[in-house]
Chains A and B, each alone.
Chain A
Amino acid sequence: MSNISYLAVEAGKIILENGGETYRVEETINLICRSYKIKNADSYVTPTGIMFSAEDEYGNNLSIIKRIKHRRINLEKVAMVNELSRKVQEKVLSSEEFENELAKISSSKSYSNLAFILSSSLAAFSFTLLFQGNIYDALVSLLIGAMLRINMIFSSDYDVNDFFINVIGGIITSLTALIFCSQFNTLSLDKIMIGSIMPLVPGVALINSIRDTIEGDLVSGLARALEATLVALAIAVGTGIVIKLWAFIFGGIV
């Protein structure tokens, strides 16, 4: 039985680490425990950790704490755990089966880095066109989008924090855009910049913050809102520094 508790928390951890809402983690853990008739199971989850306590079969108290350090975005895994908890509700799996299913989910492959880089650059490309940039603007964005993702992959390998990754992202964006715009005057700086910072937008944090707030999970709602604001600030700081320095060195208002 305590085995199931560990597995339930593990399932919650997968959701939390891959960009699920906090209330979904609590709900999933509680749901799995209810399906396996674990007594007095309750969980408290924040974006940075899971606290869980329950009663084992001898009436002893069991508590599990899981600290979440690294968060990525892999919504496919969130959906898979969600499906698993639905399945458990209908038909109780044995703990080995459950463990296997979880292992399958956590080892499921994400897209390759190349796919990420390509889609990041395509996203920047199509956003620039969407915001009325011309095709040449979009081509510069295509380049910037790829560079942004390469920076993100490279920096997270070295455990650089998210704020700094986004500052560097902003720097890369504005520096590349400025270099190209100073060479070719058919380009418009603002269109390139707006289109190519879009891949950095903290969509997941924004939506999760709202959904956690609806569920009354105010702590998580605030934390995620802060996360989204910090990302926006970091992008502004990164691009701002470069534009200011460029105007200082090469003169003129850019």
Chain B
Amino acid sequence: MIKQFIFAFIATLTFGILFNIKGEKLFYSALGGGISYLFYYVLLSMGYSAISSTFFVSILIGTYGEVMARVIKTPVTIFIISAIIPLVPGGGLYYTMYYTISENYNQALKYGMDTFQIAIVIVISILLVGTISKFVNKLKSKLI
């Protein structure tokens, strides 16, 4: 489990460098990636499906991003973009392609649907967190 955290941390850290993030922002975005993949791993080993684990973890990432953006005063995307990368269904994409060219269309369709669903789940959960945070912001400005 520690291993998963470290690999995810390094992976997001290097992604942060590829996206030209610097300083403490780089560290915190990598930390977000590490923590989120750790949760993903734990949820998977508890028997949740890849899709529902992705959903919960994306919500976690979105919330982490919104909170950190207010703490460090920097755009939310910096934290979300690199932290979400380990969840991106690269494996699903690969197997879809692989089974398509080996003309095993049943498997290709299965992996294709899985990949598509995971992508949609990531989109929806980030959308959800973004909408809620906008709502909270509006609520705060109305109350004060």
Contact = CB atoms under 8 A, between A and B. Distances in A.
Interface residues of A, number: 54
Given A240-B97, A244-B101, A197 B90 contact: yes
Contacts of A213: 127
Nearest to A152: B18
B17 A130 contact: no
B21 A75 contact: yes
Interface in A172-213: 190, 193-195, 197-199, 201, 203-204, 206-211, 213
A214 interface: yes
B91 interface: yes
Interface string A91-131: 00000000000000000001100011001101100110111
Contact of A20 (B13, B17, B77, B80): B77
State the majority secondary structure of interface residues on B: helix
A75 B81 contact: yes
B94 interface: yes
Nearest to A72: B20
Interface string B1-36: 001100110110111011111100100000000000
A76 B77 contact: no
B82 interface: yes
Contacts of A253: 102
B64 interface: no
Nearest to A86: B73
A235 interface: yes
B19 A235 contact: no
Interface in B67-102: 73-78, 80-82, 84-86, 88, 90-91, 93-98, 100-102
Nearest to A138: B7
A130 B41 CA distance: 10
B61 to A, nearest CB: 10
